[in-house]
Structure 1
Amino acid sequence: MHKYWGFGLLISSGIEFPELMPASSPHTDVTITIDVIPQIHATTTFSTGRITYYMNDRELVFTVGDIASYYVADGTRIIISPLTTEAEDRFLRMFVLAGAMAGILQQRKQLPLHAAGIVSAGGLTLISGHSGAGKSTTLAGLQERGYRIFTDDVTVLRQLPDDDCVRGIASYPMLKLWEQSLQTLQWNDRSFPVMPGMEKYGIFFHQHFDTQHYPVKKIILLSAGEVSEIQQEKLTGSKAFTHIVQHIYKEVLFRQPATRALCFDTISAVIRQAETHLIRRPADCDPAHLLNTVTALL
C-alpha cells in the first residue's frame, strides 16, 4: 500500500496518488482500494449533472457517468469500482480527491471549504471565489510576491477538542491553473494536465507543503462580473455567513440535518474569529490590480 497525507488524514492507498503528500506513519485514517462496491440502503438520492449520489447516515455511493463508482463509508474507507477498463488513473484519482474525500470529511463531521490559503503571522488567510473569479491566479501571484502558499483548492475547517478556535488544514500540494493563468504568469510547466482534454494543469509544491493546522484569521471572497471597477467591502454577521456558506466544498453532501448544523456552527465560529472581506471585480480585470487589492488586505 502507498502511504500519504492529505486533508489532515493519513491515507493508505492501493493506487498511487502523485497529487498527495507521501507519508511514512504506520497509522491509517483512510484506506483506498479498487474493488466491487457493496449495495447500500439509501435514504437520500440525487443527481448533479453526470454524477448520481446515494447516501445514508454512514455510507455514500456516487457514480460518475460511465467512468467509475465510488463507495465511501464510516469516514475510513473508499472503494473505487471502474466501469470500464479504459478509465485512466487520472480520472479515477480526480474523483477521489474531489468527491470521495469530501464524503470522508462529511462522515467525520469536518467541513471542507472551497478556498485557497496562505500563511502569514501564524494565521491563515483564506481566498475563495466561484469559478472564474481569479482565486488560483491570485494565489499564484501571491506566491511570486513571496507569500507562503498553504493550499489551493480545499481547506478543511476543524475545531479541535477544548479549543474554541476554528483551524484550517490543507488538502494537498498542488496548484491547479488554467492555460490563460499560466500565460498571464508566464509559467511554462504544463507537464501535469489535471484531466485529459482540459487546458488546466497541476503545479506541485511538495517541498514547501505544510501539514500543520493554523487559526483562520481572514477570509477574502472574490466575485467577478458584477461591477465596472474593483470594489471592496468588509462583511460581518449574517451577510458574511450568507457569502461564506456558498463556498462549502461539495455542498450537496452537507444537506442532512446533522451536517447542516455542522455547517452553521463552524461558519458562525469562523465569522466570530476572522475578518471577512468581499472583493468585487469586473469580468475584464487586470490581474495585477486584483492582486494589489488582495495584498493590501493581508
Structure 2
Amino acid sequence: MSSFKYWGFGLHILSEIPFPELAPATSFDQAHVKIRMGSIPEFQDGFSFTTGRISYTMNDRGLLFTVQDIGKYYVSGGDTIVIHPDHESIESRLLRLFVLTTGMAGILQQRSIIPLHTGSLLIDGKLTLIAGRSGAGKSTTLAGLMNKNYRIFSDDIVVLARGTDNHIHGIASYPMIKLWEQSMQAFEYEDRSFPIMPGLEKYGLFFHEEFDTSQYPINRVILLKLSDDGRFATNQLTGGCAFEAVVEHIYKPSFFNTPEMRILKFKTITQLLQNTAVYQIARPANCAPDELLSHVTSLI
C-alpha cells in the first residue's frame, strides 16, 4: 500500500491516499496522524447529534461521523482517521474534503488543541486573523487582499498554540484558499480547475510555494458582520465582549462543549487576548468589495 507524507494543521500526516490540498513533507520519523481506508469499528454509546447532512457520535474513545451519500469516518486517539466510503464510485475529492474539515477538527479536539474558523495574513512576522459568519465577506476580503499582494497565511482554519514566548501563536492549516464564484469574478481570478465539490460554485486556489509551516504570534483579530442600519462601523472590542466575539469563531464548536473543553477554550482565548487587539467591522449587506476592503486595510 502506498503512503504519502504531508504537513498540515501543525502535524505530520501519513496517508494511504494522496491529498493535493496538503503541503508535502519531505521526511519525518513518526507521523502524528495516520489516514487510511477501512472498516469502521462498532461505535454506539456516546453523545449524538446532527447538523445538516452530517450526523455525529462522540465519546471518550473517539468520534464517528457519517456524511449523507458520502461515507463514514472514524477519528480516534488524536492520531487516526479511518475512511469508509458508501460505495467505490465516491469521488476522492469529496472524501478528502470531510477529512480536512470535520476529521481534522476531531483530531485537534482529541489533542486538546483549539482551531479558529478564520483566515489570516502574515504581516511583519505577526498574524492578523479575519473571521466572519457566512455572508459577512471573509472570502471576498481574503480574495481582495490576495489580489493586493498581501501574504495569505491560511484561508479557513488557524490552529492556536502556545509559543515559547508564552503568547498564543497561529499555525496554518493547508495551502488552499476557497473562493466563491462571486469573489472569483470580483477580482478576476480565472483558475476554476479545482471545484470544491459538485454543484457548488466554490473553487480551491493553491499556494504551495508560498505556504509557511512556521508558527507566528497573533496581534490582531478583525471580525466581519452585517450591520443593522446599512452603514459601515468599526469598533475595537475589549474584555468580555472581545472574548465572546472570538469564541464564536472556534471551528466545529460542538466538539468543544465538554467541561474539559470549556476550560481549555477559556484559558486559550483569554491568553490570546492578552496580546491581541480585536476589531469588529459592521458592513452593509450590499457594498462594493473594494469598499469593504478599504475598511479592513485601514486596520492593518
TM-score band by shorter chain is over 0.9
Q: Deviations over 1:11-70 (max 9, x none)?
A: 000111111001112231100000001123533111112211111123111111131110
Partner of 2:93: 90
Alpha-carbon separation, structure 2, partners of 1:93 and 1:81: 12
Partner of 1:77: 80
1:56 corresponds to 2:87: no
Alpha-carbon separation, structure 1, partners of 2:77 and 2:109: 10
Instruction: Pick one of 256, 259, 265 that aligns with 2:261.
Output: 259
How many angstroms does 1:227 deviate by? 3.1
Q: Deviations over 1:133-191 (max 9, x none)?
A: 1112111211222211100000001124x642100000000110011111100111101
How many angstroms does 1:83 deviate by? 1.4
Instruction: Pick one of 130, 135, 141 that aligns with 2:133.
Output: 130
Q: Secondary structure at the match of 1:232?
A: strand
Give identity over the alignment, percent: 52
Gaps of 5+ in 1: none
Alpha-carbon separation, structure 2, partners of 1:58 and 1:158: 24
Tell me if the contact between 2:147 and 2:187 (Cα under 8 Å) persists in the aligned partners: no
Alpha-carbon separation, structure 1, partners of 2:128 and 2:20: 26
Tell me if the contact between 1:13 and 1:33 (Cα under 8 Å) persists in the aligned partners: yes
Partner of 2:103: 100
Give the 5 Å matches for 1:206-285: 206-285=208-287
Instruction: Pick one of 137, 144, 148 that aligns with 1:145.
Output: 148
Which range moves more in the overlay, 210-219 or 59-68?
Answer: 59-68
Alpha-carbon separation, structure 1, partners of 2:110 and 2:165: 21
Tell me if the contact between 1:225 and 1:282 (Cα under 8 Å) persists in the aligned partners: yes
Instruction: Pick one of 176, 182, 188 that aligns with 2:178.
Output: 176
Partner of 2:294: 292
Tell me if the contact between 1:155 and 1:170 (Cα under 8 Å) persists in the aligned partners: yes
Question: Which amino acid is 1:240 matched to?
Answer: A
Partner of 1:164: 166
TM-score, length-normalised on structure 1?
0.97
Tell me if the contact between 2:7 and 2:25 (Cα under 8 Å) persists in the aligned partners: yes
Question: Which amino acid is 2:195 matched to?
Answer: P
Alpha-carbon separation, structure 1, partners of 2:56 and 2:63: 7
Question: Which amino acid is 1:4 matched to?
Answer: Y
TM-score, length-normalised on structure 2?
0.96
Alpha-carbon separation, structure 2, partners of 1:58 and 1:7: 22
Q: Secondary structure at the match of 2:274?
A: helix
How many angstroms does 1:226 deviate by? 2.5
Alpha-carbon separation, structure 1, partners of 2:221 and 2:119: 10
Q: Secondary structure at the match of 1:104?
A: helix
Q: Secondary structure at the match of 2:100?
A: helix
Q: Secondary structure at the match of 1:46?
A: strand
Which range moves more in the overlay, 120-129 or 139-148?
Answer: 139-148
Q: Secondary structure at the match of 1:297?
A: coil
Question: Which amino acid is 2:58 matched to?
Answer: M
How many angstroms does 1:90 deviate by? 1.0
Alpha-carbon separation, structure 2, partners of 1:285 and 1:227: 13
How many angstroms does 1:121 deviate by? 1.6
Alpha-carbon separation, structure 2, partners of 1:227 and 1:97: 37
Partner of 1:46: 49
Q: Deviations over 1:85-108 (max 9, x none)?
A: 221111100000110000000001
Question: Which amino acid is 1:98 matched to?
Answer: T
Question: Which amino acid is 2:156 matched to?
Answer: D
Alpha-carbon separation, structure 1, partners of 2:129 and 2:175: 16
Instruction: Pick one of 10, 26, 37 that aligns with 2:12.
Output: 10
Gaps of 5+ in 2: none
Alpha-carbon separation, structure 1, partners of 2:156 and 2:52: 21
Change (3 A) 1:59 1:151: same
Question: Which amino acid is 1:100 matched to?
Answer: G
User: Over the residues paired in the alignment, what is the CA RMSD in angstroms?
Assistant: 1.1
1:195 corresponds to 2:197: yes
